[in-house]
Amino acid sequence: MSTTKVKRRVGKYELGRTIGEGTFAKVRFARNTETGDPVAIKILDKEKLLKHKMVEQIKREIATMKLIKHPNVVRIHEVMGSKTKIYIVLEYVTGGELFDTIVNHGRMREDEARRYFQQLINAVDYCHSRGVYHRDLKPENLLLDSCGNLKVSDFGLSALSQQLKDDGLLHTTCGTPNYVAPEVLEDQGYDGAMADLWSCGVILFVLLAGYLPFEDSNLMALYKKISNAEFTFPPWTSFPAKRLLTRILDPNPITRITVQEMLEDEWFKKGYKRAEFDEKYDTTLDDVDAVFNDSEEHHVTEKKEEEPVALNAFELISMSAGLNLGNLFDSEQEFKRETRFTSKSSPKEILRKIEEAAKPLGFDIQKKNYKLRLEKVKAGRKGNLNVATEVMRRIC
């Protein structure tokens, strides 16, 4: 017989396996118990966030994702908080990272790379139109859904237009070294949109070549290559693709190609389709502030719930009276009676009905998981009447 399975619930979500883990967060598969839809829940420890002064960054990540409703960006459904945890409920994306696809299969054909790149530019351009700059674009932050469509994720290092300084530029040096734009490294201020486009160019190069354009074990040597745009195309790259990449990986952000110019590029526009979607998005951030507030009224609780023991057909047959030899050896068996029945009702409904019937008859009810013990408070001629009930779930 299988053991009882423990379920964990947060609000209306039933938590499942862990699908990702980082320094400050764990991501678990979950299911909405009201709709049955799968989601991913990013769980963060409040104490760790406070200790490492990450609260504002996490608030910014949530606020950023609430501003964006695009088919090529991972969607945020809601955010919840408990006394110790923050729960970010996200769209569940099943196809893994684009990075894994490159590692496992190597470089892509140009038409395949172009489709992913077009979706990436669609998403990034939309983010920029909403005043959001990602600042850490790389294949590890690009997910694929079940249909093979690209989804931009992880806005942990993103910046909003409100963070621009008086010169209209961003000044925080961040991102992954191999993908970061030269102007970001110079620490003189940079245009977030142009810096993101540089990273998109590095991603396109990786898709077409199967390796990075800028790589060196020495960080200073790497920065020099990036600043001078020192890279070599693999021999299989077509001329139109080379021409576009040269315009994207231009170390001067002023002369670097823009999205509008890219839409007119011969290589890029082949088979291009602009994404169609509902542009309604939530601009209120009240719930974001509420989850970081220690007010009890905004807290959700994480509950443990156990499922009934599961029995397969063979286990069910072995328990039937005709195959039970226990009364040949158990002298007390004559005082016990067993009844088994099957029902189409849920385990919870069965237990509820038993309780409803037992209470008016004067039974004391003790309940644990999917087991009930009913004991008659007043003893009869043969002593106290005890009834033990267990609900089991049959599996096919």
Annotated binding-site residue numbers for ATP: 42
Per-residue burial over 300-330, b if 16 or more Cβ lie within 10 Å, else e, is beeeeeeebbebeeeeeeeeeeeeeeeeeee
Rounded to whole angstroms, how far apart are CA atoms 88 and 180? Answer: 27
> Long-range pairs for 209-216 at CB < 8 Å and ≥24 separation?
209/107, 209/233, 209/234, 209/237, 210/102, 210/106, 210/107, 210/234, 212/178, 213/249, 214/178, 215/178
Token pair recorded at residue 170 = 């961003």
Q: Which residues contact 305 (CB under 8 A, 6 or more apart)?
A: 6, 7, 8, 9
CB 86 within 8 A of CB 49: yes
364 is catalytic: no
As beta bridge partners, residue 25 has: 44
Question: Which listed residue (45, 111, 136, 250) is catalytic?
Answer: 136
Judging by DSSP bridges, how do beta strands 85-91 and 76-81 pair with one another? antiparallel
Which residue carries 């054909």 as its tokens? 109
Q: Which residues contact 88 (CB under 8 A, 6 or more apart)?
A: 41, 42, 44, 62, 76, 79
Provide φ and ψ at 143, rounded to 5°.
-100, 165
- Sign of the dihedral defined by the CA atoms of residues 19, 20, 26, 27, in that order: negative
Rounded to whole angstroms, how far apart are CA atoms 191 and 184? Answer: 9
**Taking CA 280 as the corner, what is the angle to CA 90 and CA 195, rounded to the nearest 5 degrees?**
70
Per-residue burial over 285-294, b if 16 or more Cβ lie within 10 Å, else e, is eeebeebbee
As beta bridge partners, residue 259 has: none
In a 3-state reduction of DSSP, which class is residue 190?
strand
Residues classed as catalytic: 136
